Chains A and B, each alone.
Chain A
Amino acid sequence: MTELAQYVASGLVVGAIYGLIAIGFTAVYNVTGIVNFAQGDFAMLGALGAIGLTAAGVPLAPAVVLAALAVGLAGVVIERVAIRPAGPDVLRGIIITIGVGVSLQGVAVLVWGTDAQPLPAFSGEKPIDLAGVTVPPQALWVVGTAAALMAGLYLFFARTYLGKAFRACAINAFAASLMGIPTSAIRALSFFVSGLVGAIAGIIVAPIALMQYDSGIFLGIKGFVACIIGGFGNPIGAALGGLALGLLEALATGYLSSGYKNAIAFVVLLAFLFARPGGILGELEGAKR
């Protein structure tokens, strides 16, 4: 029983990260119709940025905030420079975001080299015992931050004026522009949100999992799988998809073998792509028709 609880705990921690990255995917996809293949690299960049700032002597908290904001702004710049001029073509969008991801990885190699970098844990390394389940304190940070961020985003989308404009663009950008919503500003905002959320995901997981220039690819694919499970059009579904994937991975690692960990994500990806490409909660697309 304790064993199971232990696996569930570690699965939820990893799943929270996948969920955050998945939310980044949906923020961009719903507004622009683009799947951002550089999403995982936002997480990598955020983590390495925070690591670089702390190494330069900046205290942890401002370093985290600065790195996350910087990646969010980088997202805005990327949207303006690379995404907007390319138009709505799917194939071009994919290849351009891949190009952006490769460039970000290249920059990361130039700045931080190819070695994995550690970030100090936010509140020490001493494991915490929760009713027989031991977790590192960072795990609580991960789950807490993810939950707070998801709740904050939910309130933003559901309650604020800007959030409503955002959702209007997601449902129908043309109609939204007729209602006076500045759609290109909302597109930029979607990239800011996705960069910010992605960077925070990368930063909070960095003390548990070492980060290096190519860590983004795997995080990106896991986030995409989470979106596939939960549905691309639906941020809540994507977050739940992330948790489900994290749990599946942790249980598979625990009961089968750690070698299967990455295979699980791909098996789930392929199974869902073939059986339910709309995800469990379905796409917003379905509701549109």
Chain B
Amino acid sequence: MTRVALLAAALAAVYFSGSGYLVNLAVVTALFALPALGLSLLMGYTGQISLGHAAFVGLGAYASAILAKSLGLDPWLALALAVVATTAVAWGIGWLVFRLRGHHLAMATLAFGIIVHVATVEMKGLTGGQDGLSGIPPLSVFGLELGTDRAVFPLAWLACIAAILLAENLVRSPAGLTMRAVAENEAVAASFGIAPDALKRRIMAISGCYAALGGAIYGHYLGYISPGPFDVGFSIRLLLMVALGGFAGIWSVLFGVVFVVVTSELLKPFGRFDVVIYGVLLVVVMIYCPRGLLDGLGLAARALGRRLAGARAAE
């Protein structure tokens, strides 16, 4: 709870700092954090890799935008329907892919991500193809349209904090223990009476729900979506965020998201250099800090401290 209070204080400071730039970064962070948290539940706590998570973000964004724009539904209703539909799709995909594990699971989820991306490009009548969909009606509260950074900020972070609290609750609950048991050893988990496949499907559904919520809010906030942001590269960036957070750890994954958002801002002047940095970062983190960047830096700092202490003792 203190962490949530600290987070809220930091957010309030950002919101009232008057800097439009910081508020924008905070909104982006919240919208990335939703799918990243979902991926962390699936990969970190349940031990199942997904290389196609951008697809759920895209499905949420497109479903909500199409429902609101083409069918003229109220944006809130469209958002709710889109999230529910994507959750169902995620459950169904889980039913398909969780017959597989390891390399095969990774490749099948990667293929799923690419299929959805190609579909958003090719189904021009529905999605507008490469040109995307514009003029998506914004969400509104009592006549106030949530189309600007400052207006969408409270909504994005309320959704994000709710997601954090629910995820923490899930992880602490008996279901959280079964998730970790399945991640640790499926055969042992099954011998305790846990049904691993049913559990994985459920976590996939929750994970898809988080991703879709992030995507749907993103679409209504920008008013324009195109297939570009929901490609394999985004799936891999989500993977990087979760890896930087050490996979299992709600708050450390949030740190991973902030780290990636800030790094990509800092790297903007260098053009396309960021892709190399992401790739190298992914490799380095996986080799040297399997429990996340914070943990790795902590270990390095302690090792350095010991060495300094040793040097002093030697003098």
Contacts and interface: CB of A to CB of B under 8 A. Distances in A.
A274 B108 CA distance: 10
B104 interface: yes
B198 interface: no
A76 B152 CA distance: 49
Interface in A96-119: 96, 98-107, 109-110, 114
B122 A259 contact: yes
A39 B279 CA distance: 15
A277 B102 CA distance: 12
In this complex, which of B96, B99, B243, B276 has the most chain A Cβ atoms within 10 angstroms of its Cβ? B276
A100 B286 contact: no
A74 B273 CA distance: 20
The secondary structure that dominates the A interface is helix
A124 interface: no
Contact of B276 (A96, A110, A114, A262): A110
B162 to A, nearest CB: 29
Kindly state the interface size class of chain A when it binds its partner. 35 or more
Interface string B275-289: 111111111001100
B286 A86 contact: yes
A100 B104 CA distance: 19
B239 A95 contact: yes
Given A262-B118, A270-B96, A96 B107 contact: no
A100 B282 CA distance: 8
Nearest to B118: A262
A102 B234 CA distance: 12
A98 B286 CA distance: 11
20 contacts: A37-B106, A86-B286, A92-B286, A92-B290, A95-B243, A96-B286, A96-B287, A98-B51, A99-B280, A104-B279, A106-B274, A110-B273, A221-B111, A221-B114, A228-B104, A262-B118, A270-B96, A270-B111, A273-B100, A277-B100
Q: Which 3 A-B pairs have CB atoms at the shortest separation, nearest pair first? A: A103-B279, A99-B282, A106-B276
